[in-house]
């Protein structure tokens, strides 16, 4: 990463009613891109070769292990999670596993994935001493792990998808998130030619997903961090961390 900010890419049946992709894109101030080209995986958006070329030149092309911006962002992401511990988490676009290692401290099981094989190899090596972490070579949304999750983290990923594919990703995330589960989203907030939206536009898109309640909204010049809770079938109010501990 030099002057621009691009995050390592994705290798990132709904049970809630979903608004059509076009209407959600309109709500977010975007125009659905129905003509976007598909790459080999079938997922439309930034081509796979873009990420493969980045990792070919450097094992950690965005310096995730070195930059204070990254470390601070990870700390804020973890601090924003409302529960002290999670049963099963999913992190697509895990890159070299920097956030994965941190999530492993709060989760009984972590499924992480990336579309770039070299990144997966590095993440597997980094988590080799953590038997409860499973790093897979997958491309979302075409390849999405089965089963439910009580935590899904979509960090600096969503701006690589065109509108229809973004809609699929959010469908899958909402559909596999258990009632009461947490969805954390992080978006770089500066315009980048390779990105299909800023943090502000993506925040509006995610907010339009039915069945999700916003519980934390942290915005800075550089990124937008939001945390949502999956509403249960009873529609019960979402409790804050203080309310969960009887403080209010």
What the chain holds in terms of domains, given with CATH numbers, is 45-232 (3.40.50.150)
Mean pLDDT of 117-136: 96
Look at residue 21 and tell me whether its pLDDT is greater than 50.
no
pTM over the 0.85 mark: no
pLDDT digits (tens, 9 = 90+) for 58-76: 556 556 667 899 999 999 9
Is 20 strand, coil or helix? coil
Instruction: Enumerate the H helices of the chain as residue ranges.
Output: 21-27, 48-57, 68-80, 98-104, 117-126, 163-176, 199-207, 241-244
> CA 121, CA 185: separation in Å to the nearest integer?
24
Q: Are 139 and 48 in contact (CB under 8 A)?
A: yes
Q: Which residue has the higher pLDDT, 64 or 12?
A: 64
Q: Give the pLDDT band (50/70/90) at residue 210.
A: very high
Percent with pLDDT over 90 in the chain: 61
Q: Which residue has the higher pLDDT, 37 or 213?
A: 213
What is the model's pLDDT at position 60?
61
What is the model's pLDDT at position 26?
37
CA distances from 21 to 164, 203, 213 (A): 6, 15, 19
Closest C-alpha to 74, from 96, 110, 98, 92 = 98
Q: Which residue has the higher pLDDT, 8 or 79?
A: 79
Q: Are 163 and 30 in contact (CB under 8 A)?
A: yes
What is the model's pLDDT at position 195?
83
What is the model's pLDDT at position 37?
27
């Amino acid at each position: 990463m030099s002057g621009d900010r691009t995050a390592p890419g994705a290798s990132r049946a709904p049970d809630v009613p979903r608004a059509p992709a076009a209407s959600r894109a309109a709500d977010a101030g975007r125009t659905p891109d129905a003509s976007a080209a598909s790459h080999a995986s079938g997922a439309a958006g930034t081509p796979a070769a873009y990420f493969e070329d980045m990792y070919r030149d450097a094992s950690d092309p965005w310096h995730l292990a070195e930059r204070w911006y990254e470390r601070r962002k990870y700390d804020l992401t973890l601090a924003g999670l409302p529960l002290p511990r999670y049963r099963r988490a999913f992190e697509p676009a895990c890159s070299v596993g920097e956030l994965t290692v941190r999530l492993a401290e709060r989760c009984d099981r972590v499924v992480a994935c990336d579309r770039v094989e070299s990144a997966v190899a590095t993440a597997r090596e980094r988590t080799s001493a953590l038997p409860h972490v499973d790093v897979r070579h997958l491309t979302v949304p075409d390849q999405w792990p089965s089963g439910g999750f009580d935590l899904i983290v979509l960090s600096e990923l969503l701006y690589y998808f065109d509108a229809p594919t973004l809609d699929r990703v959010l469908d899958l995330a909402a559909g596999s998130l258990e009632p009461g589960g947490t969805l954390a989203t992080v978006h770089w907030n500066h315009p980048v030619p390779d990105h299909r939206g800023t943090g502000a536009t993506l925040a509006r898109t995610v907010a339009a997903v039915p069945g999700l309640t916003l519980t934390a909204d942290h915005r800075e010049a550089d990124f937008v961090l939001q945390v949502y809770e999956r509403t249960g079938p009873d529609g019960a109010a979402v409790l804050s961390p203080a309310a969960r501990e009887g403080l209010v």
